Structure 1
Amino acid sequence: MKQTISCEWKGEMAFESRLGNHTVRMDADAESGGSDSGVRPKPLLLTALAGCSGMDVAAMLSKMRQPLSFFNMQVDAETSEEHPKTYTRIELVYQFKKSDGLDESKVEKAVKLSQEKYCGVSAMLKEASDLSFRIEYLD
């Protein structure tokens, strides 16, 4: 399957990309020549990782009939010192509420299936960086 996007320059360091019916604006901060009118491209990649895996996990937990009232993801990443500054380490943290009474083995299964089989963003990033994950249950 082929996918094509268009990314239009909007002046200075700003670009806008149309993705279906949505527009994503990217820009740099003033220090880098932009006006901070949009997100930075590399953190957007981390957002794509969280969204891709999060959608997998939410769908699987729903199919497993798990009572989900809270699901948050945090992505911590470290970049290289030299250019090109790439992500060298990425940790994906899946956060759930203890009070939901989730079956932890089902949560673990859903997360592992996402990371090992379904999430294409994870698969691509694993080729370029050390990608790890963990699950937290919050009070």
Structure 2
Amino acid sequence: MKVTLKRVNENFHFELKNERGHIVNVDARPDFGGNDMGPSPMELVLMGVAGCSGIDMISILKKQRQEISSFKADVEGVREEVGDAKPFKDIFVVFYLEGNIKENKALTAAQLSFEKYCSVAKTVEPTATIHYKVVLNGVELAKI
């Protein structure tokens, strides 16, 4: 797996491209000297957690023949200062699922994603605790 970074302007706007040609723009906020032309690298980490766990959950639920009509997730990170860096200390994920899905299957899919399958979660695990809850058809099932 490889990505290539190219500087786009005189500030912090970068274009990143993977080996398959997909492009993502990254930038810093204006208060940090950027032009806000894309998400920050730390926002990309949260997006990675959302995307990775989302792929896991949908894959698991499809294998269990659950009917998913809607799937969303909100991910929020809390950072703390460690020297000059500010890594994530806690990451909070809320999954919103709709459809003909059994409660235990939705909960198990989330649990398996974070405890076994999600490589992004495993990557941030040494520094951040991931907390999650599942909301199925408007009903909160679990808060972990």
Q: What TM-score do you get using the length of structure 2 for normalisation?
A: 0.87
When the two chains are superposed, the root-mean-square deviation of aligned CA atoms in Å is: 1.4
Q: Deviations over 1:25-61 (max 9, x none)?
A: 1111222211111111101110011100100110111
CA distance in 1, matches of 2:31, 2:110: 38
Q: What is aligned with 1:7?
A: 5
Q: What is aligned with 2:123?
A: 124
Q: Deviations over 1:82-130 (max 9, x none)?
A: 6311111111111113xx2310111112111111111100111111111
Structure 1 residue ranges, 4+ long, deviating more than 3 angstroms after superposition: none
Which deviates more from structure 2 when the two are superposed, residues 119-128 or residues 77-86?
A: 77-86
Q: What is aligned with 2:49?
A: 49
**Letter of the structure 1 residue corresponding to residue 116 of structure 2:** K
Whether contact under 8 Å (2:77, 2:89) holds in the other structure is yes
CA distance in 1, matches of 2:94, 2:125: 16
Q: What is aligned with 1:73?
A: 73
CA distance in 2, matches of 1:72, 1:36: 25
Identity %: 30
Gaps of 5+ in 1: none
Q: What TM-score do you get using the length of structure 1 for normalisation?
A: 0.90
Q: What is aligned with 2:21?
A: 21
Secondary structure, counterpart of 1:128 in structure 2? coil
Whether contact under 8 Å (2:77, 2:91) holds in the other structure is yes
Q: What is aligned with 1:104?
A: 103
Aligned length in residues: 135
CA distance in 2, matches of 1:29, 1:124: 25
CA distance in 2, matches of 1:14, 1:101: 43
CA distance in 2, matches of 1:81, 1:93: 25
> Of Structure 1 and Structure 2, which has the larger fraction of its residues in helix?
1
